[in-house]
Amino acid sequence: MSADQAAAADASDVTVDATGLLCPLPIIELAKAAKGLPAGTAITVLCTDLAARIDVPAWARMTGHEFVGESRTDGEGVALTVRLR
Amino acid sequence: MFLDASGSAPMTNRTLEAFHAGLADGWADPSRLHTESRRARQLVDAAREAFADVLGTRPEHTHLSHSPHTGLERIIAGIFAARRGRDRIVGTAIERDATLLAAHHLAGGNVTTVPVDTLGHVDLDALAAELAVPDVALAAVQHGNHEIGTLQRLDQVAEVTRSANVPLVVDATASIGHGASPEHWDALVANPADWGGPSGLGIVALQPRTRWLPSWPEGDDWAPGGVFVPSVLAAAVALQERTEQLESTTERLRGLVARVRATAATWPGVDVVGDPDERLPHIVTFSCLYVDGESLLSRLDREGIAVGSGSACTTSTLEPSRVLASVGALSHGNVRLGLHPGVTEEQISRLLALMPRVIADLRAEAGAPEL
Note every long-range contact of B188-193, with CB atoms under 8 Å and residues 24 or more positions apart, other chains counting: B188/B55, B188/B143, B189/B68, B189/B71, B189/B72, B189/B75, B190/B51, B190/B55, B190/B68, B191/B7, B191/B68, B192/B231, B192/B235, B192/B238, B192/B239, B193/B7, B193/B8, B193/B9, B193/B68
B219, B285: one domain: no
pLDDT of residue A75: 76
Cα gap A70→A61, rounded to integer Å: 15
B200, B274: one domain: no
User: Chain A, 51-80: which have a CB under 8 Å from a chain B CB?
Assistant: 51, 54-55, 57-59, 61-63
Of A25, A31, A51, Cβ closest to residue B331: A51
Cα gap B161→B321, rounded to integer Å: 27
For residues B55-86, one letter each, b for 16 or more C-beta atoms within 10 angstroms of the residue's C-beta and e for the rest, the string is: bebebebbbbbbbbbbbbbbbbbbbbbbbeeb
Q: Which of A6, A23, A25, A31 is catalytic?
A: A23
CB contact under 8 A, A61 and B328: yes
CB contact under 8 A, A28 and B369: yes
Q: Is residue B217 part of a domain?
A: yes
Q: What is the CATH number of the domain that holds B257?
A: 3.90.1150.10
Of A35, A51, A54, Cβ closest to residue B369: A35
Residues in A touching B333 (Cβ below 8 Å): 24
> Do B136 and B130 contact (CB within 8 A), yes or no?
yes
Q: What are phi and psi of B150, to 5 degrees?
A: -65, 135
B159, B19: one domain: yes
CB contact under 8 A, A62 and B368: no
B240, B263: one domain: no
Cα gap B91→A46, rounded to integer Å: 33
Name the residue type at position B119.
L
CB contact under 8 A, A51 and B329: no
* Torsion, Cα of A22, B305, B144, B247 (10° steps): -160
B200, B292: one domain: no
Cα gap B30→B20, rounded to integer Å: 17
Residue from B267, B289, B294, B295 whose CB has the most chain A CBs within 10 Å, to mutate: B289
ipTM, two decimals, is 0.89
Nearest-neighbour CA in chain B from A4: distance (Å): 22
Of B291, B331, B369, Cβ closest to residue A32: B369
Of A35, A51, A63, Cβ closest to residue B332: A51
Name the residue type at position A62.
M
**pLDDT per residue as tens digits for the range A31-78:** 999 998 999 999 999 999 989 999 999 999 999 999 999 998 777 799
Q: Give the domain-ending residue among B189, B210, B244.
A: B244
Residue A47 falls in the annotated catalytic set: no
What is the torsional sign of CA B351, B352, B353, B355? positive
B181, B256: one domain: no
A47 forms beta bridges with A18, A78
pLDDT of residue B214: 94
Cα gap B61→A52, rounded to integer Å: 46
B28, B154: one domain: yes
**pLDDT per residue as tens digits for the range A4-29:** 544 544 556 999 999 999 989 999 99
Orientation of helix B97-107 relative to helix B68-82, angle to 10°: 30
Domain boundaries in chain A? 3-44+64-83
Q: Which residues of chain B have pLDDT under 50?
A: none
Q: Considering only CB atoms, which residues of chain B are within 8 Å of chain A? A: 269, 271, 287, 289-292, 311-313, 320, 324-325, 328-333, 366-369, 371
- Closest alpha carbon within chain A to B371: A63
B256, B298: one domain: yes
Of A24, A62, A63, Cβ closest to residue B366: A24
Q: Is residue B2 part of a domain?
A: no
- Closest alpha carbon within chain B to A31: B369
B236, B257: one domain: no
pLDDT of residue A9: 46
pLDDT of residue B371: 85
Question: Which CATH superfamily groups domain A3-44+64-83?
Answer: TusA-like domain (3.30.110.40)
Cα gap B110→B85, rounded to integer Å: 13
B223, B319: one domain: no
Q: Is A38 on the interface with B (CB under 8 A)?
A: no
**In Å, how far are A31, B305, B329, B358 from B293, measured between CA atoms?**
18, 14, 14, 12
CB contact under 8 A, A55 and B330: yes
In total, how many domains does chain B have?
2
HSE (side-chain half, CA atoms, 13 Å) at B325: 13
CB contact under 8 A, A28 and B368: yes
Q: Is A24 on the interface with B (CB under 8 A)?
A: yes
Q: Is A25 on the interface with B (CB under 8 A)?
A: yes
Q: What is the CATH number of the domain that holds B120?
A: 3.40.640.10
Q: Give the domain-ending residue among B209, B244, B279.
A: B244
**In Å, how far are B9, B136, B140 from B100, measured between CA atoms?**
25, 15, 9
B143, B74: one domain: yes
Residues in B touching A32 (Cβ below 8 Å): 367-369
**Domain of B76?**
13-244
B44, B106: one domain: yes
CB contact under 8 A, A23 and B312: yes
Residue from B297, B330, B370 whose CB has the most chain A CBs within 10 Å, to mutate: B330
CB contact under 8 A, B292 and A35: no
